[in-house]
Amino acid sequence: MKHIARKRFGQHFLTDGGIIDAIVDAIDPKPGQAMVEIGPGLAALTQPLVERLGILTVIELDRDLALRLRAHGQLRVIESDVLKVDFTLINKEPDALKLRVVGNLPYNISTPILFHLLQYVDLIEDQHFMLQKEVIDRMVARPATAAYGRLSVMLQWRYAMDNVLLVPPESFEPPPRVDSAVVRMVPRDNPAAVDVALLSELVQVAFSQRRKLLRHTLGQWLQARNFAGEFDVQRRAEEVPVDDYIALALAVARA
């Protein structure tokens, strides 16, 4: 029976064989690697991945699709909302390899998924995700650009990222109304040991009114914390490099 894409799950199934091959080549899976696929859907990526890996863990919320996937002898199926999955439980052997995470993420919850995975970054070797191109543009954006924002800062602190492939709407069934792309995310080796909650709050305040100078937003937040350190608030949030936000979060934590 043909599976009908469910709008509430944000389902758009990849059907373009050339794009599928290009994505798998970019991921470059090797036999024995520990890989998790989020939202395998109709297994367009799943099958070529598992052929190279030998075994693959998949996370699927749609129970009808999960039932189909369980019939595949080389898949470990986790039927769950990915936002509820504890990734520390996926690969529990004492000498376990780091996880490689891949997926065609539902556009309606892609950002929450990225932040959910951030807490497991020490367990992860790399991530390859298909996302709305606009989201990836924000992820990799440089300071002083319109796309640069909270997502840019929070992810660039912890990952080196590249936009590796553009995927047009006609590569899907049904076609989404936006362009898609594939991003590669590699955890940085020695990131600053910053308090994630503090950095998140700081950056959220900074970008809450991005057209105003920071003295109207972040400046007041710093005053409320009695922060006496140096930080130039005569800038707009988008003008501040990632390293400056990190340095400020570390200084606030010490104050």
| pLDDT values of the chain reduced to their tens digit, one per residue, 255 residues | 444 444 444 456 888 899 999 999 999 999 999 999 999 988 899 999 999 999 999 999 999 999 999 999 999 999 999 999 999 999 876 677 899 999 988 888 999 999 999 999 999 999 999 999 999 999 999 999 999 999 999 999 999 999 999 999 999 888 878 899 999 999 999 999 999 999 999 999 999 999 999 999 999 999 999 999 999 999 999 999 999 999 999 999 998
φ, ψ at 93 (rounded to 5°): -60, 145
Eight-class DSSP state of 206: H
Other CB atoms within a 10 A radius of the CB of residue 17 amount to 11
Q: Are 115 and 50 in contact (CB under 8 A)?
A: no
Domain of residue 226 covers 196-254
Total tally of structural domains belonging to the chain = 2
233 in the same domain as 112: no
Cα dist from 19 to 61, 103, 215, whole Å: 24, 14, 47
Distance, CA of 48 to CA of 26 (rounded, Å): 12
Same domain, 180 and 204: no
Q: Determine if residue 104 is labeled as part of a ligand binding site.
A: yes
For residues 164 and 226, membership in a common domain is answered with: no
Say whether 72 counts as a known binding-site residue.
Answer: no
CATH number of the domain encompassing residue 246: 1.10.8.100
Residues 204 and 169 in one domain: no
Pairing relationship of beta strands 180-187 and 159-167 according to DSSP bridges: antiparallel
Torsion sign, CA atoms 106, 81, 194, 99: negative
Same domain for 120 and 200?
Answer: no
Q: What is the pTM of this model?
A: 0.89
User: Does the annotation list 226 as a binding residue?
Assistant: no
Q: Are residues 161 and 133 part of one domain? A: yes
Contacts of 108 (CB under 8 A, 6+ apart): 10
Answer whether residue 1 is part of any domain.
no
41 is in an annotated binding site: no
Residue 228 falls inside a structural domain: yes
